[in-house]
Amino acid sequence: MAAYMITSTLRRVLLVAKHASFQSRCCVASSRVQYSTVYDSNEKTFDKILIANRGEIACRVMKTCKKMGIKTVAVHSDVDASAVHVKMADEAVCVGPAPTNKSYLNMDAIMDAIRKTGSQAVHPGYGFLSENKEFAKRLAAEDVVFIGPDTHAIHAMGDKIESKLLAKAANVNVIPGFDGVVEATRVILCSGGGGKGMRIAWNDDETREGFRLSSQEAASSFGDDRLLIEKFVDNPRHIEIQVLADKHGNALWLNERECSIQRRNQKVVEEAPSTFLDPETRRAMGEQAVQLAKAVQYSSAGTVEFLVDSNKNFYFLEMNTRLQVEHPITECITGLDLVQQMIRVAKGFPLLHKQEDIPINGWAIESRVYAEDPYKSFGLPSIGRLSQYQEPIHLPKVRVDSGIQEGSDISIYYDPMISKLVTYGATRAEALQRMEAALDNYVIRGVTHNIPLLREIITHPRFISGDITTNFLPEEYPEGFKGHQLTSEGRRELVATAAALYVSAQLRSQRFLGNLRVSTTPQEQRQWELCVELEKGSHTVAVSRSGSTFTVEVDGVTVEVSGEWNLASALLPVTINRTPRVLQCLSRDAGGDITLQYLGTQFKVRVLSQLVSTLSAHMPEKVPEDTSSILRSPMPGSVVAVSVKPGDVVAEGQEICVIEAMKMQNSLIAAKAAKVKSVHCKAGETVGEGDLLVQLE
């Protein structure tokens, strides 16, 4: 495999001489998009496509449509009226109020929008109606093309039980059955996708609990509360094969994606290719995936998911009959534009590529940037308004697929994904290095995000070595994620930068323009004796300045920090002891409190003059409230059920209420055995993060 990008020129070459060895052509491409849409004007597809989705995937589809000269129609809910996908589209139709079942899942309204705009085809994106056979049927009935597989393939693969039987029949390896007594089981929704409603139960109690929560979620999300229970394969990797098939019986496998890094069965970091597969296993998996696709007369892009154990045995898990969230990394290494291929196939064109045309060029990593708090169960949704937002697209070989912009609201109604951050490089190390830089340069303010976790994962020695399983997060962070753990050198770097920033701000506050009534006597100070507090530790710091370079002595060790010290910029590029780093300053107040993002994690640093530091000892400590007797909502959402009333006696760990957010039900439990003092919420209510729900005595 070589690390080349396939530029559009190269792609044309490939089309003409399919068997030419592209390995000898090394292209150093700096194009921002790591895939090529080769638009053949003789190949007429559609005039107008409606995208029945929102957010980044709607924008992603529209980008290709624009390149192909196809007009686009966006649908949106009322709260999304000024969303990016709406602005990007040629036309937009409002299909209902914010809740998804009244807008993006509202087939009647979407059918109306199709008729009204005269759209010839519909791209469903992922989620929502993408794997809904009823929707595909209704489109077919009105002669509108569904850009995706045929109804029978959706149907066959959509049912987790039937799909396994079909896979078995097509000679695809399947998971050892679920008959007999098994120690651990998993409870899976039959029609779910993306890990939603999937729960692992280790004992009878958990099975009962999982059964109840999963069936409720299933009913509310998919209107189908059947469940599948099967043996749980421990320590597996999750590796999936991208397939692409046309309506003429051709099918290709576009290599694998490694998606083992997951939290609560939802993917967080993906890469292509996988460090784990050898060419034989890759081929075997690819061929089985193609067999399955052919067995169900699959057309369009699809994904066959496998569990792979440590001996490289792989088992069919399920097939996703849609474009996957993580498709960009496949595009990066193969150079294909999957959306374009889906559109072509939907129109009935045969595939242009043969299996041997499909390369693995370089390495691509995708980080899913979510509006969630990684310190709570590796990520509980957070909401808010993006008060500042800058994507790191000024860096080379970085692709950001997003559907939001500065000022956008992340609401409780939809998926909390902010963007997919993809970096690409000739080697995995290069791609990872770019990912580090991209994460450091990504400015997100106004919502809590998971960049701290993402950056820790991609720099984790075990991840770098490629030794990962789907249990990576719980294994590496058994106590939960706590953010970056500073080394003593890192600590000094951070303290020195904070001190330098503090001094810069102090100096700036003495500079008045055109004001003659400022004292001229106090000469500009050149030396500062400071005390810097960080994570309960305190450091004595001496700072001296020459120009924009600060020499900072932290506990006797000298650190040199230089930079522009632009106090208005969200990014703080500095050179610390000759190593360039990008920090971010999130806040800085008059009391000396500075919040810096350093190596992905946000640290609260307090910079004090020696005088303030000495006198601080006299300040009273404010007593924080006792949280064991107070239950607050850990995230914004709606209350599904309240299981207690005032006066009830609850046991430690007993469920108090259930909050649903982003379609996930979260059971909140009592932190101690106590009597319920008061209940401040009721079922059906919407609550914000930190809202008081229940008070115990």
Partner 1 sequence: MAAFAVARSRCVLLSGLKAYFKTFGQVKHGVASAAVAQSEVQEQSRRWYSVSHLSVQERIDRKRNAALIGGGQKRIDAQHKRGKLTARERVELLLDKDSFVECDMFVEHRCSDFGMEEDHNKFAGDSVVTGQGRINGRLVYVFSQIMDQAMMVGAPVIGLNDSGGARIQEGVESLAGYADIFLRNVMASGVVPQISLIMGPCAGGAVYSPALTDFTFMVKDTSYLFITGPDVVKSVTNEDVTQEELGGAKTHTAVSGVAHRAFENDIDALLNLRNFFNFLPLSNQDPAPVTECHDPSDRLVPGLDTIVPFETTKAYDMLDIIQGIADEREFFEIMPNYAKNIVVGFARMNGRTVGIVGNQPKVASGCLDINSSVKGARFVRFCDAFNIPILTFVDVPGFLPGTSQEYGGIIRHGAKLLFAFAEATVPKITIITRKAYGGAYDVMSSKHLRGDVNYAWPSAEVAVMGAKGAVQIIFRGKSNQAEQEAEYVEKFANPFPAAVRGFVDDIIVPSTTRKRICRDLEVLASKKQTNPWKKHANIPL
Distance CA 179, CA 164 (A): 14
Q: Of residues 5-24, which lie at the interface with partner 1 (CB under 8 A)?
A: none
- Looking up tokens 């059920």, which residue turns up? 641
Q: Token pair of 131, please?
A: 């794997």
Active-site residue (options: 186, 257, 322, 581): 322
With CB under 8 A as the contact rule, the residue among 622, 624, 625, 627 that binds partner 1 is: 622
Judged by CB, which is closer to partner 1: 526, or 578? 526
Give the other-Cβ count within 10 Å of 47's Cβ: 12
Q: How far is CA 448 from CA 3, 368, 370, 371, 539, in A?
A: 35, 14, 8, 6, 29
322 belongs to the catalytic site: yes
Q: What angle do CA 388, 391, 395 make, to 5 degrees?
A: 140
* Two tokens, residue 609: 């003059």
Candidates 63-71, 259-267, 533-541, 608-616: pick the segment binding partner 1 (CB under 8 A): 608-616
Say whether residue 591 binds partner 1 (CB under 8 A). Answer: yes
532 contact partners, CB below 8 Å, separation of at least 6? 495, 498, 499, 538, 539, 541, 554, 605, 606, 607, 608
Taking the complex as a whole, the smallest distance from the CB of residue 416 to partner 1 amounts, in Å, to: 18
Q: How far is the CB of 290 from partner 1 (least distance, A)?
A: 45
Distance CA 687, CA 130 (A): 30
**Contacts with partner 1, 367-386, as mask; x by CB under 8 A:** ------------------xx
Binding-residue total with partner 1 (CB under 8 A): 40
State which of residues 620, 624, 625, 627 lies at the interface with partner 1 (CB under 8 A): 620
Least distance in angstroms from the C-beta of 382 to partner 1 = 17
Query: Which residues between 54 and 113 bind partner 1 (CB under 8 A)?
Result: 78, 81-82
Site pattern 566..585 for partner 1 (x: CB under 8 A): xxxx----------------
Residues 6+ apart with CB under 8 A from 546: none
Q: In whole angstroms, what is the distance from residue 288 CA to residue 284 CA?
A: 6
CB of 473 to partner 1, least distance (A): 33
Nearest-approach distance from CB 504 to partner 1, in angstroms? 10
407 binds partner 1 (CB under 8 A): yes
The least CB distance from residue 618 to partner 1, in Å, is 4
The SS3 of residue 324 is: coil
Position 387 contacts partner 1 (CB under 8 A): yes
Site string for partner 1, 472-511 (x = CB under 8 A): ------------------------------------xxxx
Q: How far is CA 602 from CA 375, 421, 472, 599, 605, in A?
A: 12, 20, 23, 8, 10
The one-letter amino acid at 406: E
By CB under 8 A, is residue 515 in contact with partner 1? yes
Q: Please say whether the dihedral angle defined by the alpha carbons of residues 156, 161, 162 and 164, taken in this order, is positive or negative.
A: positive
Candidate residues 478, 522, 547, 624; the one interacting with partner 1 per rule CB under 8 A: 522
Decide: is 547 part of the binding site for partner 1 (CB under 8 A). no
For the CB of residue 622, give the shortest distance to partner 1 in the complex, in Å. Answer: 7
Rule CB under 8 A: is residue 141 a binding residue for partner 1?
no
**Strands annotated E in 293-332:** 300-308, 314-320
CB atoms within 10 A of CB 619: 8
Please report, as ranges, the residues that interact with partner 1 according to CB under 8 A: 78, 81-82, 385-389, 405-408, 508-515, 517-519, 522, 566-569, 589-592, 611-612, 615-616, 618-620, 622
Any idea which residues carry the catalytic annotation?
Answer: 322
